[in-house]
Structure 1
Amino acid sequence: MDKFVKLTGVAAPLPVVNIDTDMIIPKDYLKTIKRTGLGTGLFAEARYNEDGTPNESFVLNKPAYQNAKILVAGDNFGCGSSREHAPWALLDFGIRCVISTSFADIFYNNCFKNGILPVVVSPENLDKLMDDASRGANAVLTVDLEAQEITGPDGGKISFEIDAFKRHCMLNGLDDIGLTMEKAPSITSFEQKIAETRPWA
């Protein structure tokens, strides 16, 4: 998993509440277990017209936001089913950070396991960031995980809280496998001891 230390990029505004995982990645795209290629299906029902052409009114189809790295979204982002394809699709599109006032628990935890930083802010601060994100190509935010701060295009800063363990994992690019590999010397030592003391095991 890629480390997340500091991210600077265009933030796309998506002021919609209760965006569920089916909206993030429709069920038609769940046939694969690969993490790549799902970016085309991200928000597919909103991004594309019935004939498959891009819906020009959808934010991620607008020229200023086609390379957005940050999403500023409404309350209760990622609710609905627990599909891990949702963070996969966001990441494959290029989104590394989602900012909202709240997230569904399973989606929130899945983000950390896939290298996406979900940031919880107050409603007042979300309004400020949504305003910043509405500036098109000038909607550049910097999310600093070490300092736990978001810097807006005008230099204003917003602090955020995050669990210390999750922060450690993101800063060091550790998913579940990475965390296990950190314990590799202890695991090897234990296995050698078992082999010596219990050769029949």
Structure 2
Amino acid sequence: MIFAIEEINNSTELLPGIKLGYQIYDSCASVPMAVRLAFQLSNGQDPVFYKGSNCSQSAVIAVVGDSGSTPSISISRIIGTFNIPQVSHFATCACLSDKKQFPSFFRTIPSDQFQADALAKMVKHFGWTWIGAVCSNSDYGNYGMASFLDAAQREGICVEYSEAFYRTDPRTKIQRVADVIRRFLHQKFCCFLYYCGATQKNV
């Protein structure tokens, strides 16, 4: 990001007469931290109040990030109130395409809706008409799973079960999900579809 901004500022063609400034924060992939930073950006941290034509010097013009969908959702709900544009390079949750909820959110990566549609078509291509589905219990996983289930229904695919868990869940919950999968795998003509994070695996 620093390199890109310096290239823009040093160019006489890209934004002539304009210099971009920046501040970089680490959300640590944490929603509470992302919310705190969003409020800091919205409130402004400069104690000087600018008057006249230079008032924009104290304003945040745009936010780049977050890389995760859940932090991006939290940030967008705050800064979107102030019409501050947010551009993410890696938040793919299909829910962020809803302009009623996230009017100032943009991204440079496709929505998960495309992935869900492609996944359903792949399942149909291989003739897997009866499957089980597991996802990460997060905004990314749950919204991604919802998109996939809709796409699977349109393709005539029967989803036997849909389970969600998170890596910090207690062992008992993870064991319950494992038991559901085990029972399903003991049945005939089965496929296990895993939709967790950015990985899809077929077993």
TM-score after normalising by structure 2: 0.28
Higher percent of residues as helix? 2
Which structure ranks higher in relative contact order (CA pairs < 8 Å, sequence separation ≥ 6)?
1
Q: Considering only CA atoms, is the larger Rg found in Structure 1 or Structure 2?
A: 2
